[in-house]
Homo-oligomer: A and B are copies of this chain.
Amino acid sequence: MASDKRKPARPGLSQDRVLHAALTLADEVGVESLSMRRLGEALGVQAMSLYKHVANKDDILDGIVDLVIGQIAVPEINRNNPGDNWKRAMRRRAVSAHDTLLRHPWAPMLLLSRVNVGPASLRYVDATIGCLRNAGFSYAMADHAWNAIDNHIYGFTLQKLNFPFQPEEYATVAQSFLPQIPAAQYPHLNGMAQQVIDGKHDGLADFDFGLNLILDGLERVLR
C-alpha cells in the first residue's frame, strides 16, 4: 500500500512543469512580477529548488517565450482551397501572431529583447521562410520580407499594449489632454486631438493598414 503513493499529492517538479507554471504566472501577474520566490510558491516549493530544473531566470524567460511562439499559427497554404496563396498565408500568420501576443502582453518585449532559438521558434521561422521561398522569393528577399513583416507585428502589438486607454475613452482623454497641447505650439497634434473629440477620427490604430502596405509591396517586388 505504501508503494501506491508514488505521486505523494505533488507530482514533483520538472522543467516542463516549471515553465508552464511560469507562463501561467506571467499571464496572471505580469512578467515584471514573476520572481523565483513567487514561482516557487505557486509550485509549492522553495525558490532555490527551481534551479535543479532550469539554469537561471533567463532560462525560464527563454522557455516561456518559446511556449508562446508555439501558439502562433505557422504559415501554410491550404491545398484544398485553390484561391489560397502565400499572401493570404502570411496574413494569417501575422494576425495569429498579433492575437497570440495580445493574450500574453508581456511576451513581445521579451521576443524583441533576446535571441529566440527554442524549438518552436525555429519551426516558426523555418515555416515562414519556406512559405516565402515557395512563393518565389529568393533567400535574400525572403529574409528581408520576413523581417519587415515581423517588425510590423512586434512594433504594432507593443505600441497597442502599451497604450493606457481603451478606445471608448479616446474622446474623453483627448479632451482632457487638450490644454497640454495648445494649438499655438502643437497645431497638428491639437488638430488631431480635435478630430478625435469631434468623433471625426476614431483614433484606432489599424493592424491591417501597415500590414497591407508591406504585403502589397512584397507582391510588387515579386513580379
Contacts and interface: CB of A to CB of B under 8 A. Distances in A.
Given A181-B122, A203-B143, A151 B188 contact: no
Interface string A188-223: 110110010000111101100110111011100100
A174 to B, nearest CB: 12
A156 B163 contact: no
A135 to B, nearest CB: 12
A128 to B, nearest CB: 8
A163 B188 CA distance: 37
B189 A139 contact: no
A195 B143 CA distance: 11
Interface in A100-159: 109, 112-115, 117, 122-123, 125-127, 129-130, 133, 139-140, 142-144, 147-148, 150-156, 158-159
Q: Classify chain A: how many residues form its interface, as a range.
A: 35 or more
Contacts of A217: 212-214, 216-217
A126 B186 contact: yes
A22 to B, nearest CB: 20
A8 interface: no
Residue with the greatest number of chain B CB neighbours at <10 A, chosen from A114, A150, A192, A200: A192
Contacts of A114: 162
B155 A210 contact: no
B201 A143 contact: yes
Interface in A161-179: 162-164
Given A115-B162, A129-B191, 15 more contacts: A112-B158, A112-B162, A113-B162, A122-B189, A129-B192, A133-B188, A140-B202, A143-B201, A147-B206, A147-B209, A150-B155, A151-B154, A151-B155, A212-B217, A214-B214
